[in-house]
Amino acid sequence: DAGITQSPRHKVTETGTPVTLRCHQTENHRYMYWYRQDPGHGLRLIHYSYGVKDTDKGEVSDGYSVSRSKTEDFLLTLESATSSQTSVYFCAISAVGTEAFFGQGTRLTVV
Amino acid sequence: GIQVEQSPPDLILQEGANSTLRCNFSDSVNNLQWFHQNPWGQLINLFYIPSGTKQNGRLSATTVATERYSLLYISSSQTTDSGVYFCAVVRRGFTGANNLFFGTGTRLTVIP
């Protein structure tokens, strides 16, 4: 299994509070990604990183920010959580030109 | 953006039966991945296949990039094959990142 750890695995938070999800990898891969999974939509790309401090937006980036200060860590932040951000969040990693591998997911509920 | 359509959306099989899942996509792609999401939510890599055919045990996949579709074959299905199968196409941006665009999946239920 690819060495990807997401934390926390489950979180319940209140509307309007900030939330940070963490993805940690032990593979030293260049690329890291955050996706969200919602019923009827499959998975959709939120943001991705192509190196330390290098990030770009995906399909559904509104309301999210990311940071990557070290190769192994990629953080996803919801500055002010909304109910529409209730979802399952997956982190993925890939090396140059290779397939992506996914973490186990974080189930986030915003009440 | 690119559209990815999977069919059928749901499939129920008797254990031991064979099945074919289809993935159509609307534009040229750099590569294609098939995943199995098990009942615990884990995404398991099955194939990374830009074109041609690959086989892994009872599973095989064929991608015909020029016609913009891919097929996943499951033979002699087992109850452990149950779950959701996702097709995801790879669009490689200027950064070299392999950004994935997913279909909505085929939910497979194998009954004993």
Is the CB of residue A22 less than 8 Å away from at least one CB of chain B? Answer: no
Structure confidence at residue B11 (pLDDT) = 98
Structure tokens at B10: 């749901």
Minimum-distance CB partner of A59 among B1, B88, B104: B1
User: B97-111 pLDDT, tens per residue?
Assistant: 999 999 999 999 999
Strand locations in B38-92, DSSP E? 43-48, 52-56, 59-64, 69-74, 83-92
Instruction: With cut-offs at 50, 70 and 90, classify the pLDDT of residue B93.
Output: confident
The Cα diameter of chain B in Å comes to 48
Instruction: Name the residue of chain A whose CA is nearest to B40's CA.
Output: A104
CB atoms within 10 A of CB B99: 24
CB contact under 8 A, B102 and A42: yes
User: B8-26 pLDDT, tens per residue?
Assistant: 999 999 999 999 999 999 9
Contact residues on chain B for A102, CB-CB shorter than 8 A: 35, 42-43
CB contact under 8 A, A99 and B86: no
User: A88-103 pLDDT, tens per residue?
Assistant: 999 999 998 899 999 9
How far apart CA B89 and CA B87 sit, in angstroms, is 7
Minimum-distance CB partner of A99 among B33, B99, B101: B33
Low-confidence ranges of chain A (pLDDT < 70): 1-2
How many Å lie between the alpha carbon of B96 and the closest alpha carbon of chain A?
7
CB contact under 8 A, B96 and A88: no
A17's CB contacts (< 8 A; 6+ apart) are A80, A81
